[in-house]
Amino acid sequence: MSKAQKRKRLNQDDGESKTPANKSTVDGSNPYPTLLRPTAEECRDVRDALLSLHGFPPEFANYRRQRLRSFSAVDGHDTQCNVKSEPLDDAEVESVLDGLVKILLSQNTTESNSQRAFASLKAAFPNWDDVLAAEPKSIESAIRCGGLAPKKAVCIKNILNRLQNERGVLCLEYLRGFSVEEVKTELSHFKGIGPKTVSCVLMFNLQHNDFPVDTHVFEIAKALGWVPKTADRNKTYVHLNRKIPDELKFDLNCLLYTHGKLCSNCKKNVAKPKAKAKAKVASPDNCPLVGFSDLV
């Protein structure tokens, strides 16, 4: 049976999957119970095709190594904070608080701008205690190159104030000992932190098998027919986390995000412009996802 025939058969809406549902990090029922895509085989094929085109994205390599070490470790995480404030350093093992702030700074801007904003924040304030003590305008100035500086500065201050008031220490390492639902509940108490940010922290910094849905992943998922064209991002998140096998989530997510940035064919559906990529760019002629969808 060809891949096209398989997809046609899977898209039939008469009946539900005969295979057990994939273990998921989301609660509640699947919003699209009769949509059987993506299958595990399809996820693996897309992962392999994008990996062949792009290689594994180097900006996510450290996170991948952390996951491999985490999954192979015998002992559990050390969830205790041994210092009063986590330094903003460039160590390979990124602290959860560093990761959260980096993700916040990446919102509504390019990757290069968000990296510059975090580097500027580090240069202006050696540690998180200094950020907490700083005036919002000073924080805004430090992160201005990342865009939406007033909003992001307030969010950062809110996070630090809550940590100081609730726990007496500027540290989020305690989340390493939490379940997925406990992490979601805890971070939901921090004003300005939305579901996508929480999902990114779960996947990148806490090594959970979660699958964030950013603009690129969302648009490609719709183009591939993995969710209906009318799907919203929240329902897409629930559906994909239920259908994509845990062992494929991290690599597939990183590769879809990277491909969405680089492929001129796939990013035509994304309105927000992105910085020019230096890596190999896929065109409609060599985009490997064309074989999985009606992208052209």
Active site residue 196: yes
Q: Which of 56, 106, 101 is nearest to 214 (CA)?
A: 106
Q: What's the half-sphere exposure (Cβ side, CA atoms, 13 Å) at 208?
A: 25
The shares of helix, strand and coil residues in the chain, as percent rounded to the nearest 5, are 55, 0, 40
Closest CA to 63 of 103, 119, 109, 120: 103
Cα 40 from Cα 42, distance rounded (Å): 5
List the end-to-end C-alpha distance of the chain, in Å, as a whole number.
Answer: 23
Among 203, 246, 254, which residue's Cα sits nearest to residue 56? 254
Tell me which of 102, 152, 184, 196 is the catalytic residue.
196
Which tokens in the block code for residue 137? 């305008």
Q: Give me the active site residues, please.
A: 196
